[in-house]
C-alpha cells in the first residue's frame, strides 16, 4: 500500500507542469484571467491530493518497516535461543547484540526509505523524461543523457560503499566487545589501575571505526555534488536549447517552463535517490550480517519429536561411556576417555585444578555441549537422542558464574519453575540458607547483592524446580565453611533425593560425597571416597595437602 500511494502521489506531481504550461500558453499568453484562476485551483487540488497520498504512504511505510524489523528481531532471537553453547561461543555475544540492535535499526530505516522512494523516485525520473518527449523530442534528448550519466554515478558510488558499510559494522562489533568487557570488568580494571591501558585499547578500536566510517563517508559525500553538477549542466543545456527552439517557433514558452519543471523534478528525485542509496547500502550490509546469523545451522538437534525422558527407565542416573570432547578450534581435548556411572540419589564430588575440565564434564549432562567421542547417558538414554526440553526439565543447575536478572527475588526464582507458589519459593530460599523477601528488588546482574547472596539465590532457583539431577558448579565458592556445610546437609536431606554433582576446588566441599571424581588436564585420575583417594590418588592427595598444610584440616573444622 505504501508504494501504491507513493505512485499515485507521483502521478499527480507529474501532471502539475502540464497545468503550468496551459496556464502560461492559454491563460497568461491570451490574457484569460478566469482560465489562470481555474488552472491555479486545479494545481492546488492536485497538490492537496498528492499530499494526502503522501501521508498515507508514509504511514504504511512506517508500519511495514517497524513490522519487518520486529519480525526479523524475533526471528533472530528465536534462532539464537536454539544455538548451542558452542555456536554462541564461536559467534560472540557482542556481535549478536550488535546485529539485534544497530543492524536491525539500519535495516528498518532501509525498508522504510525503500518503500517510500525506491519506486517513486525512478517513476518520477522516467515519467518526467517521457512527459518531456510529449512536449519536444529534441529537447527531451538532454533528459536521456543526463539520467544515464547520473544513474551511472549512483551505481558506482553504491558499489563502492556497500562493502565499506559492512566493514564499518564489523569494526563496530569490536568496539562493542571492548566496551562490554570494560564495563563488566570495571572493578578489576580499577583494582589493577589499568584504566589508561583500557582507554588506549578503546581509543585504538574507536579510531579504526572512525577511519572506516570517514572513508565510506567521503565516498558517499560525492553523491550530492556530482548529481547537482550533472543536473545543473543539464538544465543549462535545456534552457539554451529551448531558447533557440522558442526563437525559431518550434516551442512555446509554456513548453519551456514545463520542461524546466520536469528537469527540476528529476533533480530533486535524483538527490533523494542518491541519499536513498546510502541508506539502502547500510540496510543491505546490515541485512547480510543478520542473514549470516540466521544461516548458522544449530550445532545440535533438539529432537523435539522424541518422547519425554523418564527416570523409571534405568537405575543409573548418569553414565559417561568413554566420553571425549574438544572445543571448537582447540587442538587438545578438554576431556578424554571419561568412563564412570552414577546411581540415582548418589552425591558425586568433582574436584581438580583450574582448567582440568570440571565444568566441561557437568555441562555434558544437560547437553550444553556434545561429546566428540563416546556418549553420555541420562536415565539410560543417550542425551543426543533425548528431547532437549525434557532432558533439561529433569536437571537443576547452578552455573559457575551466578547470573541473576533484573527484577525481584521472586521473578528470578520463577525462571526455573514458573508455576511455583510463594510457599515453595520461600522453602527453596530457606534450603539455600538465605533469608530474602520475595519482593526484594534485584538490579541487573544482581549487582546489589553480595557474591554469596547471588550464589545462594542461584541455588534456590535450582532447588525450587525439584530436579531429579542437581548440578552445583562451584556454587559455594563465596560461602563460608559453616554456611556451605549447612547447605550441603539441607541438599542431602531433600525429600526428592536428587542425584547431586558438586563441582569444587575445595576438598572440604566434596570430601563427604558418596564418591569423588578427580580430574587432571581432562583425564580422570581417580574415583572413590575421600579416604580411598587419599591413599591411592596422587593428584587428590596433593590438592588435599596444599589446602591443609598450614591450617587445621577441613574435616576438623567442619566437625
E-only strand ranges, 394-522: 395-398, 407-408, 441-442, 469-473, 499-504, 515-520
Task: Please indicate whether residue 556 or residue 383 has the higher confidence score (pLDDT).
Answer: 383
* Per-residue confidence (pLDDT) for residue 125, from 0 to 100: 81
**pLDDT surpassing 50 at residue 556:** no
pLDDT at 558 over 50: no
Residue 337 grid coordinates: 576417555
User: Which pLDDT score is estimated for 328?
Assistant: 63
In DSSP terms, 408 is beta-bridged to 441
Q: What is the mean predicted confidence (pLDDT) over 282-305?
A: 82
Q: Return the percentage of the chain with pLDDT > 70, whole number.
A: 97
Mean pLDDT of 508-516: 89
The CATH code of the domain at 2-294 is: 1.20.1560.10
Name the average pLDDT for the chain. Answer: 84
pLDDT in tens, 23-70: 887 878 777 788 888 888 988 998 899 899 889 998 999 999 999 999
Whole-number pLDDT of residue 551: 46
User: What mean pLDDT is predicted for residues 155-177?
Assistant: 81
Q: Which of 112-126, 447-461, 506-520 has the lowest mean pLDDT?
A: 112-126
Does 465 score more than 70 pLDDT? yes
**Residue 554 confidence (pLDDT):** 43
Q: Name the least confident of 290-299, 309-318, 338-347, 532-541.
A: 309-318
Give the single-character DSSP code of 117: I
Q: What is the DSSP-derived secondary structure letter of residue 104?
A: H
pLDDT at 550 over 90: no
Specify whether domain 395-466 bears CATH 3.40.50.300: yes
Q: How confident is the model at residue 329 (pLDDT cuts 50, 70, 90)?
A: low
| Confidence tier at 330 by pLDDT (50, 70, 90) | low
Mean pLDDT, residues 177-195: 84
CA distances from 350 to 144, 318, 345, 517 (A): 79, 14, 16, 5
Global confidence as pTM = 0.69
Say yes or no to pLDDT of 519 above 70. yes
Q: pLDDT tens digits for 355-408? A: 888 888 999 999 888 888 889 999 888 888 888 888 888 899 988 888 888 899
**Of residues 498, 499, 472, the one with CA closest to residue 484:** 472
Q: What's the pLDDT at 206?
A: 92
pLDDT at 555: 44
pLDDT at residue 474, as a whole number: 84
Q: What is the DSSP letter of 350?
A: E
Domain boundaries of the chain, sorted by first residue: 2-294, 395-466
pLDDT digits (tens, 9 = 90+) for 82-126: 888 878 877 878 788 888 888 899 899 989 988 888 888 888 888
Residue 153, all three cell numbers: 554515478
102-113 and 33-82 are packed helices; what angle lies between their axes, rounded to 10 degrees? Answer: 150
The cell for 401 is 558464574
Query: How far from 53 is each of 5, 15, 67, 128, 267, CA to CA, in Å?
Result: 5, 15, 21, 19, 22
**In the 8-state DSSP scheme, what is residue 324?**
E
Say how far apart CA 27 and CA 33 lie, in whole Å.
6
Evaluated on CA atoms 491, 493, 499, 505, the torsion sign reads: positive
pLDDT digits over 225-277, tens only?
A: 887 888 788 888 888 888 888 888 788 888 888 888 887 887 778 777 777 87
Amino acid at each position: 500500500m505504501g508504494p501504491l500511494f507513493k505512485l499515485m502521489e507521483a502521478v499527480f506531481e507529474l501532471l502539475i507542469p502540464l497545468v503550468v504550461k496551459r496556464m502560461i500558453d492559454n491563460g497568461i499568453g491570451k490574457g484569460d484571467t478566469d482560465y489562470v484562476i481555474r488552472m491555479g485551483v486545479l494545481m492546488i487540488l492536485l497538490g492537496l491530493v498528492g499530499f494526502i497520498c503522501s501521508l498515507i504512504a508514509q504511514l504504511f511505510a512506517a508500519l511495514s518497516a517497524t513490522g519487518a524489523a520486529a519480525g526479523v528481531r524475533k526471528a533472530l532471537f528465536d534462532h539464537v535461543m536454539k544455538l548451542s553453547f558452542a555456536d554462541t561461543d564461536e559467534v560472540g555475544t557482542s556481535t549478536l547484540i550488535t546485529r539485534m540492535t544497530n543492524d536491525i535499526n539500519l535495516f528498518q530505516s532501509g525498508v522504510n526509505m525503500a518503500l517510500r522512494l525506491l519506486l517513486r523516485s525512478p517513476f518520477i525520473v522516467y515519467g518526467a523524461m517521457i512527459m518531456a518527449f510529449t512536449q519536444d523530442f529534441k529537447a527531451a534528448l538532454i533528459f536521456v543523457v543526463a539520467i544515464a550519466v547520473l544513474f551511472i554515478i549512483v551505481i558506482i558510488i553504491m558499489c563502492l560503499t556497500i562493502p565499506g558499510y559492512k566493514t564499518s559494522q564489523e569494526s563496530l562489533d569490536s568496539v562493542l566487545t571492548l566496551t562490554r568487557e570494560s564495563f563488566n570488568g570495571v572493578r578489576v580494571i580499577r583494582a589493577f589501575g589499568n584504566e589508561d591501558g583500557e582507554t588506549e585499547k578503546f581509543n585504538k578500536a574507536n579510531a579504526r571505526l572512525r577511519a572506516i566510517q570517514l572513508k565510506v563517508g567521503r565516498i558517499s559525500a560525492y553523491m550530492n555534488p556530482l548529481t547537482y553538477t550533472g543536473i545543473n549542466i543539464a538544465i543549462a543545456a535545456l534552457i539554451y536549447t529551448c531558447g533557440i527552439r522558442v526563437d525559431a517557433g518550434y516551442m512555446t514558452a509554456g513548453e519551456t517552463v514545463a520542461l524546466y519543471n520536469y528537469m527540476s523534478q528529476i533533480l530533486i528525485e535524483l538527490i533523494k535517490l542518491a541519499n536513498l542509496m546510502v541508506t539502502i547500502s547500510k540496510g543491505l550490509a546490515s541485512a547480510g550480517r543478520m542473514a549470516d546469523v540466521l544461516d548458522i545451522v544449530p550445532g545440535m538437534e533438539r529432537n523435539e519429536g522424541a518422547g519425554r525422558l523418564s527416570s523409571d527407565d534405568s537405575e543409573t542416573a548418569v553414565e559417561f561411556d568413554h566420553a571425549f570432547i574438544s572445543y571448537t578450534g582447540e587442538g587438545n581435548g578438554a576431556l578424554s576417555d571419561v568412563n564412570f556411572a552414577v546411581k540415582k540419589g548418589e552425591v558425586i564430588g568433582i574436584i581438580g585444578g583450574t582448567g582440568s575440565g570440571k565444568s566441561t564434564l557437568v555441562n555434558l549432562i544437560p547437553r550444553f555441549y556434545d561429546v566428540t567421542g563416546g556418549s553420555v547417558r541420562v536415565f539410560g538414554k543417550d542425551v543426543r537422542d533425548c528431547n532437549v526440553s525434557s532432558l533439561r526439565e529433569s536437571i537443576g543447575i547452578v552455573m559457575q558464574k551466578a547470573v541473576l536478572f533484573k527484577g525481584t527475588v521472586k521473578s528470578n526464582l520463577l525462571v526455573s519453575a514458573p508455576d511455583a507458589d510463594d510457599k515453595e519459593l520461600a522453602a527453596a530460599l530457606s534450603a539455600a540458607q538465605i533469608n530474602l523477601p520475595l519482593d526484594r528488588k534485584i538490579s541487573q546482574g544482581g549487582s546489589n547483592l553480595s557474591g554469596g547472596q547471588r550464589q545462594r539465590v542461584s541455588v534456590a532457583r535450582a532447588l525450587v524446580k525439584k530436579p531429579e539431577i542437581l548440578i552445583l558448579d562451584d556454587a559455594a565458592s563465596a560461602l563460608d565453611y559453616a554456611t556451605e556445610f549447612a547447605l550441603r546437609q539441607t541438599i542431602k536431606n531433600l525429600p526428592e533425593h536428587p542425584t547431586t554433582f558438586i563441582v569444587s576446588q575445595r576438598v572440604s566441599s566434596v570430601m563427604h560425597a558418596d564418591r569423588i571424581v578427580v580430574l587432571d588436564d581432562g583425564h580422570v585420575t581417580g574415583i572413590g571416597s575421600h579416604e580411598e583417594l587419599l591413599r591411592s590418588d596422587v593428584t587428590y592427595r596433593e590438592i588435599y595437602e596444599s589446602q591443609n598444610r598450614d591450617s587445621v584440616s577441613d574435616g576438623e573444622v567442619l566437625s
